[in-house]
Structure 1
Amino acid sequence: MIRNNDFIYDAVSKLETLTHAMIELDSKRKEYDAAISINNQRLNIIAKAAIRDSNIGMILTPFVNQADNEKSNLLFVAKYISKSAANLLKSNNLNYLDVSGNTHIKKNGLFIYVEGQKADKYDKDQSRAFQEAGLKLLLLLLSKPENLVCSYRELSEKTDISIGSVSNIFSELEDLKFILRTKQKRIIKNKKELIERWVIGYNEVLKPRILRKRMKFLQHIDFNLLKDQVAKNNMVWGGEPAAAILTKNLRPEQYILYSNIELSELSKQFRLAPNPNGNLEICELFWKFDNNTITAPPLVVYADLISSGFERNIEMAKIILENEL
């Protein structure tokens, strides 16, 4: 078991205390973080620091089309699992356990369900690389890797981030083993984990800050006409509309528009009215590089879809992850 997953011991110990079950823990698994046996039922453990709204979509993605009997062999163990994330895991027939002992395990004749155990407050990622400036810089590097050769001054100009901040973020990314620096160039390492941490940071830190307004359409939505209107202006689609364009396999129901145009002008152009429950989010267009399309960068679209929690969006996110990232 790797050092950062030592909380697995705490979670299993808490489960033993609450259920009085005899549990055997195997921490030397290679393909999984560990495994446990309860009443002769073996479950392979996948450890996550936390499972919450911002990353539940990524966790569900590999299992969208997997058979229930295969999913029942797995157990997600985390320090913290939000109630909504736990409900999604349960509805997708995935087992879970947190260090407070809240659990849902169902395999063959074994069924354990514990809820209501008070969880410790989960501390969000405080790494500079996954705060606002770092997220903006990483979006450029992940979307346009050719910029890895740029100087700090050039990257500062491309992202509106101070040179000092660019330097500090790169130092941290190197310490975290996400950037490898050689004499000739920089290379992105551990890309899958880096994308996962970017998506979590984006949805928890940056997205709330760039959300300008939630609106509703005052007329019937003709997406083809909307696409033409967006194409003529300095704005791009995110979320479901972007997925519809990129995959050609989705009819949007919830809309995300990235634009810095005045809200009054957008309201007039698209016939909109403010509504906290409206199906259109208008967000700040926060990147400077040209994406050469009317969709946000694929990484942003992926993050938008994953955070929705909807199964159809998770399926589209998986396609975008495989084909665009």
Structure 2
Amino acid sequence: MGTITNIERDVVDQATANLKKIGYLNDIEVITSKTDSYDFNVTIDGHGFACMVKNSVTKNNFGFVLSQLQEITRKENLPVLLITKLISPNLMDELQANNINTLDVSGNTSIIHDTLRIVIKGEKSIRQQATLATPGRLFKDAGLKFLFGILTNPDMINYTYREMQEIVDVSLGSITNSMEDIEENGFLIKNGNKRVLSRRKEIIDRWVIAYNEALKPKLFLTRMSFNDNIPWQSVQLAGDTYWGGEPASYLLNGFLLPEDFMIYTREKIGQLVRSGLRPDESGNVFVYNKFWKSNNSNILVPRLLVYADLMGSGYNRNIEAAQKLAKDGL
């Protein structure tokens, strides 16, 4: 998984120390992995695990974490163990349902493998210590909007700053800062007068997590429901309004039958009411402010945003649909 940091080693040491204390276990050994597939080899009472370390696991990054753990399972002939500072009991259960073992630094444990069964719940969380690394400007609001423009329109990287501003809804100053940050982070390759975005997959992975954690909550407008006896497919979205999330995924490839619905719009709520929706605080239609300037030629948000919506949901069915979407190209 790359070079092991002191922070990651500290997380493992603290978690295993608490497991020994709370679970009355003495036979735990931790060795740095010799492969890039995972971080550590952990042996507990004679049972070996391929271990990956994460600072925290939340609903917003759960899809990525699960995908990485499943990839380790496919590659290695070992059961997989996730060690993290912070994870909710529900997500720990979700991982166990996918045959992924989990241990957090407080000692909460869900390890079920062969004859080994360790389930410890209710230990006090150290949420205050599990803060994520502070993102730079590039992965905050304006930077996220700018990156969305670059990722969905690769030619934009060679536009003038004023031309970029016609596509992304941010100031010229923010565009200047974002271009500086892209270069400083090594995401930009210069070839003569041409600029090319590099490490695109890494940028997408980081963008999706940061978008769901930082920007998307600020875009939320309201919840609605479909009018009685109106199938969702018959709703005619008008003006600057687009399907995202599950309905967009379904319309792209038919793989996922939508249960929750996302709409991105710059129209008034009254326009959505005229389209066949009604305000409903517990409705399954989630309405968000459209944060980019350019208009699509169809009724769907860009594929990258569909992918981000699905991955950020934390639901297995949506994560599977997102992975299929990614294989077809973002």
| TM-score, reference length from structure 1 | 0.88
Which residue of structure 2 aligns with residue 311 of structure 1?
316
Tell which deviates more after alignment, 195-204 or 8-17: 8-17
Task: Evaluate the alpha carbon distance shift between residue 111 and residue 9 of structure 1 in structure 2; reply closer, same or farther with a 3 A threshold.
Answer: farther
Deviation at 1:82, TM superposition (A): 3.3
Matches of 1:49 and 1:18, distance apart in 2: 18
**Aligned-partner Cα distance in 2 for 1:59–1:141:** 25
2:119 aligned with 1:118: no
Whether the aligned pair in 1 keeps the contact of 2:265 and 2:290 (CA below 8 Å) is yes
Is the 2:29–2:43 Cα contact (8 Å) retained in structure 1?
Answer: yes
Between the two proteins, the alignment pairs up a number of residues equal to: 321
Structure 1 residues 44 and 203: alpha-carbon distance in aligned structure 2, compared to 1, 3 A threshold? same
Gaps of 5+ in 2: none
Partner Cα distance (2:107, 2:194) in 1? 47
Change (3 A) 1:5 1:49: farther
- In the alignment, is residue 156 of structure 1 matched against residue 157 of structure 2? no
Question: Corresponding residue for 1:10?
Answer: 11
Deviation string for 1:272-320 (max 9, x for gaps)? 1x22220101111111224332111111111111222222211111111
Q: Distance in 1 between matches of 2:11 and 2:70?
A: 29
CA contact (8 A) 2:69 2:80 kept: no
* Cα deviation, residue 49, structure 1: 2.7
Task: Give, in whole Å, the separation in 1 of the partners of 2:44 and 2:228.
Answer: 57
Show structure 1 runs of 4+ deviating over 4 A.
62-68
Work out whether 1:251 is the aligned partner of 2:257: yes
Q: Which moved more, 1:113-122 or 1:201-210?
A: 113-122
Determine the structure 1 residue equivalent to 2:281: 276
Aligned-partner SS, 1:158: coil
Which residue pairs with 2:241 in the alignment?
Answer: 235
**How far is the alpha carbon of 1:182 from its aligned partner?**
4.5
Matched, 1:102 2:108: yes
Q: Is the 8 A contact 1:72 1:95 kept in 2?
A: no
| Corresponding position: 1:80 with 2:86 | yes
- Cα 1:84–1:184 change in 2 (3 A) is farther
Identity among equivalent positions (%) equals 33
TM-score, normalization: structure 2?
0.87
What CA deviation, in whole Å up to 9, does each residue of 1:48-85 have, x standing for no partner?
232101010222246779989x7971112223223433
Q: Is 1:44–2:50 an aligned residue pair?
A: yes
CA distance in 1, matches of 2:282, 2:26: 46
Alpha carbons of structure 1 residues 176 and 47: separation in structure 2 relative to 1, 3 Å: farther
For 1:29 and 1:64, the matched residues in 2 are separated by 19
Is 1:30 paired with 2:26? no
Q: Which amino acid aligns with 1:34?
A: F
- Matched residue SS, 2:213: helix
